[in-house]
C-alpha cells in the first residue's frame, strides 16, 4: 500500500503521524511510505532519519496527498487541505467531527473514508489511540495551569504547592478517565489539594485506592460540582463521550462566582469543551478571560511536547496501521471491531452514531459501510 505522511499545518502543531521507526516497520513489510520534507523536524526527527528508514521524501504537500492510498495525520485536515480530499483516499487521524461541521461536510462531499483515532474503542470501552494523547494532555494540564496561575500570566499569583504557613492551590478535576487521572498524578505531585469528580463510582474507588488518600474523590452532581468549582483555584475539564460533543458542566454563572485570577484548563476542547465559555485557542495565544478568570483552551495541547507525543502516538497507532495496510480498510475493519468503531465517514455518509447525532444526520450502519 502507498502510505503518506504530510507535514502538519495547524498552528504550532509540531507532531508527526509516524516516527522513523514506524516507517522502517512499514517499509520492511513491503509498503511504500512517502513523507513530506520537514514533517518530523518539529518532533526532533530529521529528514535524514526518515530517509535512512526507507521513506521517499517529497517536498510538495499536494504530491504527498495525491500519492496516498492511506494518509496518516495527527490533526484533522484544515481548510487549506480540503482540496486534497478525494473519494479513493483513506485518512487515519484525530478528527473530532462532532465539534466540526465544516470538516464533516467536506469529508462527505469528497466521499473520503475517514477513520478517527479517538473513536477506536476496545470491548472494555477504553480508547487505545486516544489514551496516549490523553496521558500527555492530562499531565500537561496542571503544568500549564500552574504557569497560568502566576500573576505574570494573568492568574491570581498562587504557587501550586504553597509554602509552609500558606495554603496550596485547590484543584478540581472533572472526569476521572485517562486524562483526569494523569492530571491528578501531576497536580498531587506538585503539592496541590486535588479533588476528582466523576459519575462512575467504580472509577472513583479505583482512583481512591491508587492514590491512597493523596487525592480526594467525589461523585459528580450539579450541586457539589458547583460548590467545588466556585471554590477552586484551578479547574481541569477532562470529560469525554466517545465521538460526541462534551457536556457543558461548568456554566458561565459558576465562573462569575470564582475568584478573579482563577484558571480553567479544558482538555475536552477538541470535542467542543466541557465549559460553557470554551472556545479553541492556540499555543500562540493560549488564554482568554471570562469574569476575571483565565481560560486555557489550546486544541492541540500535546503539540507542545511533540517528541514525546509523536513517539507515544506511533506506539499506539502502528498495530492498526499495519492491519489497514496489509488487509485494506474494509477487511481490516471486518477483522477488528475496535478499529471498526473508528470509522467516521465513507462514501459520502456518516458512519459513527455520535457524529451523526451531533449534526442531526442519519448514521450509515457499519454492515452497510463494509458491504
How far apart CA 118 and CA 20 sit, in angstroms, is 23
| Cβ–Cβ under 8 Å, residues 298 and 326 | no
3-state secondary structure of 153: helix
Active site residue 270: yes
| Residues contacting 315, CB < 8 A, separation 6+ | 132
Distances (CA, A) of 68 to 62, 87, 328, 343: 10, 12, 13, 18
233 is annotated as an active-site residue: no
Q: Alpha-carbon distance 360 to 300, whole Å?
A: 26
How many CA atoms, within 13 angstroms, populate the side-chain half-sphere of residue 84? 22
Of the residues 198, 233, 270, 277, only one is catalytic, namely 270
Instruction: State the Cα–Cα distance between residues 295 and 151, nearest whole angstrom.
Output: 14
How far apart CA 220 and CA 9 sit, in angstroms, is 38
**Of residues 96, 100, 193, 233, which has the active-site annotation?**
96
Handedness of CA 96, 99, 104, 106 (dihedral sign): negative
Residue 29 to residue 31: CA distance in whole angstroms: 6
C-alpha cell at 211: 492514590
Cα 169 from Cα 185, distance rounded (Å): 15
Measured distance CA(92)–CA(332) in Å, rounded: 13
| C-alpha neighbours within 13 Å on the C-beta side of residue 206 | 10
Q: Are 67 and 3 within 8 A, CB to CB?
A: no
Its sign, for the CA torsion 145, 148, 151, 156, is negative
Q: Which residues contact 360 (CB under 8 A, 6 or more apart)?
A: none
Set of cell numbers at residue 37: 520534507
Catalytic residue ranges: 96, 270
Amino acid at each position: 500500500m502507498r502510505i503518506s505522511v504530510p507535514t502538519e499545518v495547524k498552528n504550532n502543531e509540531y507532531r508527526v503521524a509516524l516516527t522513523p521507526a514506524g516507517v522502517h516497520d512499514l517499509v520492511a513489510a513491503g509498503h511504500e511510505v512517502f513523507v513530506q520534507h520537514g514533517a518530523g523536524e518539529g518532533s526532533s526527527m530529521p529528514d535524514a532519519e526518515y530517509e535512512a528508514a526507507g521513506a521517499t521524501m517529497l517536498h510538495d504537500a499536494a504530491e504527498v496527498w495525491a500519492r496516498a492510498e492511506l494518509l496518516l495525520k495527527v490533526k484533522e485536515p484544515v481548510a487549506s487541505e480540503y482540496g486534497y480530499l478525494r473519494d479513493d483516499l483513506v485518512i487515519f487521524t484525530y478528527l473530532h467531527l462532532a465539534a466540526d461541521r465544516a470538516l464533516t461536510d467536506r469529508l462527505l462531499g469528497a466521499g473520503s473514508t475517514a477513520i478517527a483515532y479517538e473513536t477506536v474503542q476496545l470491548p472494555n470501552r477504553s480508547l487505545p489511540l486516544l489514551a496516549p494523547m490523553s496521558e500527555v494532555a492530562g499531565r500537561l494540564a496542571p503544568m500549564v495551569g500552574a504557569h497560568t496561575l502566576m500573576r505574570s500570566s494573568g492568574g491570581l499569583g498562587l504557587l501550586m504547592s504553597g509554602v509552609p504557613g500558606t495554603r496550596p492551590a485547590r484543584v478540581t478535576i472533572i472526569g476521572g478517565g485517562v486524562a483526569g487521572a494523569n492530571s491528578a498524578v501531576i497536580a498531587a505531585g506538585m503539592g496541590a489539594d486535588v479533588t476528582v469528580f466523576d459519575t462512575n463510582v467504580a472509577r472513583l474507588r479505583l482512583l481512591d485506592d491508587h492514590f491512597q488518600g493523596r487525592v480526594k474523590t467525589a461523585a459528580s452532581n450539579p450541586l457539589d460540582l458547583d460548590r467545588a468549582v466556585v471554590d477552586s483555584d484551578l479547574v481541569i475539564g477532562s470529560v469525554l463521550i466517545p465521538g460526541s460533543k462534551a457536556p457543558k458542566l461548568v456554566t458561565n454563572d459558576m465562573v462569575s462566582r470564582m475568584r478573579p485570577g482563577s484558571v480553567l484548563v479544558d482538555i475536552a476542547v477538541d470535542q467542543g469543551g466541557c465549559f460553557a465559555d470554551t472556545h479553541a485557542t492556540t499555543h500562540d495565544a493560549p488564554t482568554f478571560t471570562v469574569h476575571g478568570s483565565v481560560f486555557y483552551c489550546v486544541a492541540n495541547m500535546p503539540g507542545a511536547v511533540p517528541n514525546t507525543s509523536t513517539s507515544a502516538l506511533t506506539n499506539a497507532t502502528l498495530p492498526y496501521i499495519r492491519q489497514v495496510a496489509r488487509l485494506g480498510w474494509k477487511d481490516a475493519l471486518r477483522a477488528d471491531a475496535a478499529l471498526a468503531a473508528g470509522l467516521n465517514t465513507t462514501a459520502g455518509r456518516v458512519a459513527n452514531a455520535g457524529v451523526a447525532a451531533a449534526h442531526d444526520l442519519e448514521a450509515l450502519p457499519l454492515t452497510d459501510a463494509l458491504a
